[in-house]
Amino acid sequence: MEHGAAHDSVWDCGRARFDLTERVVVMGVLNVTPDSFSDGGLYPDADAAIERALAMVDEGADVIDVGGESTRPGADAVAADEEQRRVVPVIEGLRRRSAVPISIDTMKASTARAALDAGADIVNDVTGLRGDPEMIGLAAARNCGLVVMHMQGTPRDMQQAPRYDDVIAQIRQYFQKRLETTRAANIRSERILLDPGIGFGKTVDHNLELIANLRGLAAGLRPLLMGVSRKSFIGKTLNVDTSERLEGTAAAVAVCVWNGAACVRVHDVRAMRRVADMTTAIRRRVRPGIAAA
């Protein structure tokens, strides 16, 4: 994407380095959980999960995001040893069979450490490195990519009554503070993507407002990762259940990409790779100074 500053042109994930001016990064979702909102229980063992990951790579995924603990609204916490039992064999097996960059979706520093040791390249923390006091030190010590997300509350309570005076301004301020904290910990900004946390402590209106106003949300900070795939704001807007959210996801992904998202986290990789690439091709033909009719 065309992020203005050279500072925004790279996402450095250690062994993997993404040129964000080339194309949108597509992150494929691989939940090895019994209770995730969309794909929980689909991959009951490591072999099934690895095969799904390899299929997503064939479909165009640039990164595979492996999660062993559901963060859907109301989800119960999972013990670290159980989370690691779920994710580590998948990461080890996938790393043996593919060079694809692997992300670990976790709030726990011990699980992040085990995943990085098993071959992961990125830590995707829904708490923005705030949930576990050891996470920021681990992030500073390891040359991995990072996704720093915004969440109001916790997965257990985040959707009970989310409120903002100005959702754009407050999340932007949060990003600024998190980047100050990571800089103080000697974490280079090029390692970080920011995620506004669609569905994490937001109403339908908050989610729609964030997607519509991405350009001002993180301008001059760091590029954005957007996780809109199959989420409940689509279901509530279109009055459809989880299995019927492909078109709504495609529309949301297209608008995110149009508005400058550097990475999209998706379940339907083949379709969303094409949506992202087509949107990018059109966006690159915009003539500066010519307003749309």
Catalytically active residues are: 231, 265
Could you give the CA distance from residue 135 to residue 124 in angstroms, rounded to a whole number?
A: 11
Burial class (CB in 10 A: 0-12, 13-18, 19+), 73: middle
Could you give the CA distance from residue 253 to residue 198 in angstroms, rounded to a whole number?
A: 12
For residue 224, the 8-state DSSP code is: B
Q: Which residues are 27's β-sheet partners?
A: 63, 265
Burial class (CB in 10 A: 0-12, 13-18, 19+), 281: exposed
Kindly give, in sequence order, each residue whose CB lies less than 8 Å from that of residue 15, ignoring residues fewer than 6 positions away.
101, 121
In the three-class reduction of DSSP (H, G, I as helix; E, B as strand; rest coil), residue 153 is classed as coil
